[in-house]
Amino acid sequence: MIESLREILKAILFGIVEGITEWLPISSTGHLILLNEFINLQVSDEFRSMFDVVIQLGAILAVIVLFFHKLNPFAPSKSAGEKKQTWTLWFKVIAAIIPSGIVGVLFDDWMDEHLHNGIVVSIALIVYGIAFILVERRNGGKYLKIAEKDGPTVVFTKRRTIEDVHGIDYKNALLIGAFQCLSLIPGTSRSGSTILGAIMLGVGRSAGAEFSFFMAIPTMLGASAIKLLKFLLSGATAGGMEIAVLIVGCVVSFIVSLLVIKGLMEYVRRHSFSAFGVYRIILGAVVLVYFLIF
């Protein structure tokens, strides 16, 4: 009984970490790998590999709940034009996940074997933390200086950004999807790579974050389906305790994600992502030193 309670408490902790880190640009997979270095679930290796991905279903459900009206093309309150716009948004989302879907299917086993370790996570945290700071500095100014042809006068014009998720075209959607391929490296962050890519393409932080959230739905559903299928085909089985751990982790990640997504959308309207870049660098450096010493 005490052992079962201990595993449930661990599942709650993993659910909290997943719900927070899935949406912040700091890598949920990386944090789960690092957490597992210090707090081990008493489960099989096959179940553990599946758990790290399937626990994300709770977080994905939070996106569906929070953005249900915006994502629902059948909403009776929407006009014909709005329904068409919603379908178009879904087509763009599907187009965006194609690059990472192809790479993920082809190299999933290789990446599990070679990249899912503390050293890779630490390096990715640091590298992309630096990238966030540099990109935010480059795009931080609200205005661009443009020299006029007829003289030395310099005028200021507002930087062009796409502030609405519907303004993202198919070209940018595919390019954002290409950035998502980077997230297949643990420690990179799926939301971080896609939001970073969106910002570099001229998409506003809020619109970029929304599009990243929407991309997560088919991406994580597909990844979870693949992991579940591999788990079943491997001949592995899950006992009652393991099933309970998975359910608890998903439920907790759903509840925490509801709060985090709301908070992040408010945050990005007023702040840059530089703070997350600093966090990534500090965490990556600390963890890297730990693994090099121990």
What are the pLDDT digits (tens) for 206-215?
999 999 999 9
**Phi and psi at residue 252, to the nearest 5°:** -65, -40
Residue 127 confidence (pLDDT) above 80: yes
Q: Average the pLDDT over 263-273 and give the result.
A: 88
pLDDT value of position 141: 47
pLDDT of residue 140: 60
pLDDT of 148 strictly over 60: no
Across 236-258, average pLDDT: 92
Q: What is the pTM of this model?
A: 0.84
Provide the domain limits for residue 33.
Answer: 2-293
Residue 175: phi, psi to the nearest 5? -70, -40
Q: What share of the chain is helix, strand, coil (3-state, %, to 5)?
A: 75, 5, 20
Among 61-75, 153-167, 238-252, name the one with the lowest average pLDDT. Answer: 153-167
Number of domains forming the structure of the chain: 1
**Looking at the predicted structure, is the pLDDT value of residue 49 above 90?**
no
**122-137: buried (b, 16+ CB within 10 Å) or exposed (e) per residue?**
bebbbbbbebbbebbe
State residue 114's pLDDT score. Answer: 87
Rounded CA gap, 241 and 254, in Å?
Answer: 20
Q: pLDDT-based confidence at 69, cuts 50/70/90?
A: very high
- Please check the confidence at residue 151 and state whether its pLDDT lies above 60: no
Give pLDDT, residue 215. Answer: 96
Count of beta carbons in the 10 Å neighbourhood of residue 85 = 13
Instruction: Round to whole Å and give the CA distance between 123 and 280.
Output: 10
What's the confidence (pLDDT) of residue 14?
A: 94
Q: Any idea which of 7-16, 120-129, 151-160 has the lowest mean pLDDT?
A: 151-160
pLDDT of residue 98: 95
Cβ partners under 8 Å of residue 221, min gap 6: 57, 60
Q: Is 235 helix (H, G, I), strand (E, B) or coil?
A: coil
Average pLDDT over residues 51-74: 93
Residue 291 has pLDDT above 90, yes or no: no
Is the pLDDT at 61 greater than 50, yes or no? yes
Question: What are the structure tokens assigned to 40, written together?
Answer: 């081990």
Torsion sign over Cα 279, 284, 285, 291? positive
Phi-psi region of 202 (alpha: psi -120 to 50; beta: other; left: phi over 0): left
Percent of the chain at pLDDT > 90 equals 54
